Amino acid sequence: MEFKNLYRTVKFLTSAAYLDQAPPDQGFEVAFVGRSNSGKSSAINAICEQKSLSRTSKTPGRTQLINFFGLDSQRRLVDLPGYGYAAASLALQRRWQDSMTDYLTYRQCLQGLILLMDIRHPLTDYDLNLIHWCTTRPIQIHILLTKADKLKKGPALVQSKKVQQHLNQLSIPIAITVQTFSAMKRYGIESVCSVLDKWLQV
């Protein structure tokens, strides 16, 4: 069956510094999260086939608010602030962390997380801390190993298997899946869209 990308019609809804500024907590949401240099904004734009839906920058830490994008009145994609950007002030890092923690803790319509990691530097302490924290709710996770075009196909697949094996050894009581992804080469879009379709029940 021919792949039909439903996310081409996603539109920006609003930005929120705090959870009480978010859209009503109803329907279905999937959030994108990752380190500031993981290629999160580029991945969102590639998945939605839009050049500037999510702002990209060569400067890490560009996403400073929780950004909501609507597929329809009941289904949304959410771009969370990047973490691990040491050059930001401590006060700003703390605000990002607090807003993201509130979202992940209290947002009842959240169906799952797309966790982005640079395929060359996966499973950092920040990533593992987030994964372990998500087990308390629990929240299902799908990992995108981004910038896969930086490696040849063989080494990229080996890296993907290593990440999955490492996660299996952690005995985490939540569902975590892993795939390779390249926004530049548009590789892996169909796979992640199938995850979004399932979680958003489209």
Side-chain-side CA neighbours of residue 24 (13 Å) = 4
CA–CA separation, 80 and 90 (whole Å): 18
Instruction: Report whether CATH 1.10.940.10 matches the domain 6-200.
Output: no
pLDDT digits (tens, 9 = 90+) for 163-202: 999 999 988 888 899 999 999 999 999 999 999 999 999 9
Domain ranges, ordered by start, for the chain: 6-200
Q: E-strand spans in the chain?
A: 11-16, 28-34, 66-72, 75-79, 110-118, 141-146, 176-180
Q: Are 167 and 176 in contact (CB under 8 A)?
A: yes
Q: Are 77 and 124 in contact (CB under 8 A)?
A: no
pLDDT digits (tens, 9 = 90+) for 129-161: 999 988 888 899 999 999 999 999 999 999 999
pLDDT digits (tens, 9 = 90+) for 50-61: 988 886 544 444
Higher-confidence position of 79 and 57: 79
Global pTM reads 0.91
